[in-house]
Structure 1
Amino acid sequence: MLKKIVIPLLQWYNINKRILPWRDRNNAYYTWVSEIMLQQTRVEAVKPYFQRFITALPDVQALAQCPQEQLLKLWEGLGYYNRVRNMQEAARQVVSEHQGIIPEDYQTLLSLKGIGSYTAGAIASIAYHKSVPAVDGNVLRVITRITENNGDISRQSVRRVIEEALSEIMPEDKPGDFNQALMELGAVVCIPNGMAKCEECPVASLCQAYCHDTVDRFPVKAAKKERRQEDKTVFIIQDGEATALRKRPSKGLLAGLYELPNVPGHIDRERALEYVRKLGLDPLYIEEMPSSRHIFSHIEWRMEAYRIRVSSLEKAKDKDLIFADKEQTGKRYAIPSAFGAYARYIKEEKR
């Protein structure tokens, strides 16, 4: 049955594919960068990040040599910073072990840091026309609906079954287009949560879930563990010229990035002022800011915040504090999106 989807899907893709800055370039580096960026971010959101990244780092050699702080700043806003760190490690492998050329071979691609079966399949098929599948969340959704596969897609065994099935029908002349067609179908037609636009699908007549009116039952995925909640109080401490920042530890969550000073728990105004005084600073006024929350894969931060004006940041006793003006923050310091609700106040520190 799956063999029958190949031709109509390729025909549909040829007519309907979106114009994307990394598409139809036969550029393995572009494919790699875009696929890593797209793992947790929608296409429209990725476009400006992709352009910014490749303008600064146009090839593997540039990525391998980039100072880490600049690299993290270029990735700012995309989250999951370990991905770009892994990319740089892989780029250094490519430079040292493969003469700076991203490998064509699927198994060799898998040996590079941070490259799994999906990314290896995407690079090999799209950039090098190798007949290997590239199975991401969109493809899992499309295929489980077409075949009414009720296996748990979070299990590697289910993913392998789908990869093997697609390997058998992969068109040798257009494997990259076929993989992208499946991804595209999942992104714009066979969308999640039972909202599929089946009337627009080029393979609806072949889809078992559509024929049996079970589209909303697929894909099957085990419920995630409940996220741990962490309460935090965030401080936007400013003296009219700069904002206090602190670098996070080199390991763990948001490793090596810059953050606004914060403490565990939600504290009242008096304790907030006491915290600032313990830093050796003289508070002039305090303003309560809107609360915010940020969801990681396993933790949810619930944040309260205070904006506190001090006489001078230079009086601070805490040597780990960094005093960044608006221009420095914009160009140098990578502040994770977890603090995004308060980032705009950094850019308007002069009062």
Structure 2
Amino acid sequence: MNENKEFKLEALVEPLCLWYEKEKRSMPWRDDATPYHVWLSEIMLQQTRIEAAKAYYDRFTKCLPDIPSLAAVSEEELLKLWEGLGYYNRARNLKKAASLLVERYDGRLPADYDLLLSLPGIGRYTAGAIASIAYGLAEPAVDGNVLRVTMRYLNCDEDIMKMSVRTKMEKQLRAIMPKDCPGEFNQALMELGEVICIPNGKPLCEKCPLSHLCLAHKEGREMELPKKAEKKKRRIEKKTVLVFRQGDRIGIVRRPNQGLLAGMWEFPSKEGHLTMQQVKEYLSETVSCEVTVKRLKSGKHIFSHVEWHMRGYEIILPEGKPQDVVHGLLFCDLSEVQEKYPIPVAFHIFLHQI
């Protein structure tokens, strides 16, 4: 980013803010932008589409309306509220941070960028968003949307996955952002990236308030930018999911407290794709009664770094006490599982077939 490009960045402020004033969308967290609401929404919106996050946000804030209630909630209830959003460490870090806020800051988020940055789960982007939107502090909030807009605007070929590029952009935006409305400015950049300067498909340059200034648009390079290094391919893991059922009761098991989907509940599974015969042989060695085995529709779930390709079987147990014939599982009514126990979305395809 040479000096000419850095200077040119300042020209976007006025047209961008005028556009946002007219076009900004109504959001529940914007309409009531308390520090808690801003924080919660920014955490939810990581890896989650806005429309999907809205319903979770409404439910979450009704159950946990403030930081003290978030600090006090049990982890199981918290994960149930978060069920379906994925990336469950986000929820755990919310609770950890809330507990620290109750302990150190009387249950309030501090109006200080560095103190915000010290809290679990809050990185530079989230700290900047809270500081600027909730407290009016002139701190940038640079996410993928902001980098896409600015890299196209400057016609810059630098790799946006490099932390040094993000750091330079934070410095440049901090220098030009309007001191009287930094939160609006940050949200305007994000909004432009979400609805106009989009990541997938052709950007809507004809609707963009910055198209007359955008260097990539002038050179016809908007589809080439931003540049970023290719991600590593996700590894594929094959699993065989076993759904033990007796009447309306099903068997679930808790995952370890560390690692992927830590502490959540799931159906037991075996590595690899087992055939019907292999499943029956496994059950003959581990279950002390005759069972009926049915094949279920297969499922696939994509995480950030791994794909689960799952083959499912329903194992129907005879009347009696299921825990006497299948050890290590918690058997609950299906309705109780759906209401109380956090089940990862990966297993919902099997839950819905029972």
TM > 0.5: yes
1:66 equivalent to 2:73? Answer yes
Per-residue CA distance 1:285-326 (angstroms, 9 max, x = gap)? 322222221111111111111122221462444542111212
Secondary structure of residue in 1 paired with 2:28: coil
Which residue of 2 is the match for residue 199 of structure 1?
A: 206
Name the counterpart of 1:340.
348
Could you tell which deviates more after superposition, 288-297 or 314-323? 314-323
CA contact (8 A) 2:289 2:325 kept: no
Pair 1:95-2:81 in alignment: no
Structure 2 residue 266 is the aligned partner of structure 1 residue 259: yes
Tell me, what secondary structure is at the counterpart of 2:77?
helix
Counterpart in 1 of 2:189? 182
The match for 2:309 is 302
Contact 2:298 2:310 in 1 (8 A): yes
User: For residue 335 of structure 2, what is the amino acid of its counterpart?
Assistant: E
Local SS of the residue matching 2:223 = helix
1:283–1:308 CA contact under 8 A, matched in 2: no
Asked if structure 2 preserves the Cα contact closer than 8 Å seen for 1:246 and 1:260, the reply is yes
Is 1:137–2:144 an aligned residue pair?
yes
Matched residues in 1 for 2:211 and 2:351: separation? 46
Give the superposition deviation at 1:194.
4.5
Which residue is equivalent to 2:229? 222
User: Is the alpha carbon distance of 1:53 and 1:278 closer, same or farther for their aligned partners in structure 2, counting shifts above 3 Å?
Assistant: farther
Q: Does 1:314 align with 2:318?
A: no
After TM superposition, list the pairs within 5 Å mapping 1:69-80 onto structure 2: 69-80=76-87
2:118 matches 1:111: yes
For 2:207 and 2:269, locate their aligned partners in 1 and report how far apart those are by CA, in whole Å.
49
Q: Displacement, 1:251?
A: 0.6
Code of the residue aligned with 2:351 in structure 1: it is A
CA distance in 2, matches of 1:167, 1:117: 13
Verify: 1:293 aligned to 2:300, yes or no: yes
Query: Contact 1:279 / 1:316 at 8 angstroms: preserved in 2?
Result: no
Secondary structure (helix, strand or coil) at the match of 1:236 reads strand
Going from structure 1 to structure 2, the CA distance change for 1:110 and 1:309 (only over 3 Å counts) comes to same
Check conservation: 1:247, 1:320, Cα contact below 8 A. Answer: no
The worse-fitting range, judged by mean Cα deviation, of 57-66 and 16-25 is: 16-25
Mean CA deviation greater in 100-109 or 280-289: 280-289
Which of 155, 163, 172 is 2:170 aligned to?
A: 163
Answer yes or no: is 1:148 the counterpart of 2:155: yes
Q: Distance in 2 between matches of 1:276 and 1:24?
A: 55
Aligned to 1:48: 55
- The alpha-carbon distance between structure 1 residues 318 and 308, as it changes in their structure 2 partners (threshold 3 A), is closer
Name the SS for the 2:107 alignment partner: coil
Q: Quote the Cα distance in structure 1 between the aligned partners of 2:159 and 2:349.
A: 35
Distance 1:207 1:194, change over 3 A: farther
The AA in structure 2 aligned to 1:167 is R
The 1-side partners of 2:66 and 2:286 are apart by 44
Tell me which amino acid in the other structure corresponds to 1:342: F
Q: Following the alignment from structure 2 to structure 1, what is the Cα–Cα distance between the partners of residues 106 and 81?
A: 25
Tell me, yes or no, if structure 1 residue 122 matches structure 2 residue 164: no
Q: Secondary structure at the match of 2:51?
A: helix
The SS at the match of 2:179 is: coil
Where do 5+ consecutive residues of structure 1 fail to align? none
Give the count of matched residue pairs: 346
What RMSD in Å do the two structures reach over aligned CA positions? 1.4
SS in 1 for 2:84: coil
Inter-partner Cα distance in structure 1 for 2:19 and 2:324: 62
Match of 2:34 in 1: 27
Q: Which residue of structure 1 aligns with residue 12 of structure 2?
A: 5
Q: Distance in 2 between matches of 1:302 and 1:316?
A: 31
Letter in 1 for 2:349: A
CA deviations on 1:221-256 (whole Å, 9 max, x unpaired) are: 111112111110011221121111110011111100
Supply the AA of the counterpart residue of 2:101: V
Q: Over residues 247-284 of structure 1, what are the superposed CA-to-partner deviations in whole Å (9 max), with x where a residue is unaligned? A: 00111111000011110000111221233344425454
Q: TM-score, normalised by structure 1?
A: 0.95
The 8 Å contact of residues 125 and 143 in structure 2, kept in 1 or not, is answered as yes
Paired amino acid for 1:10: C
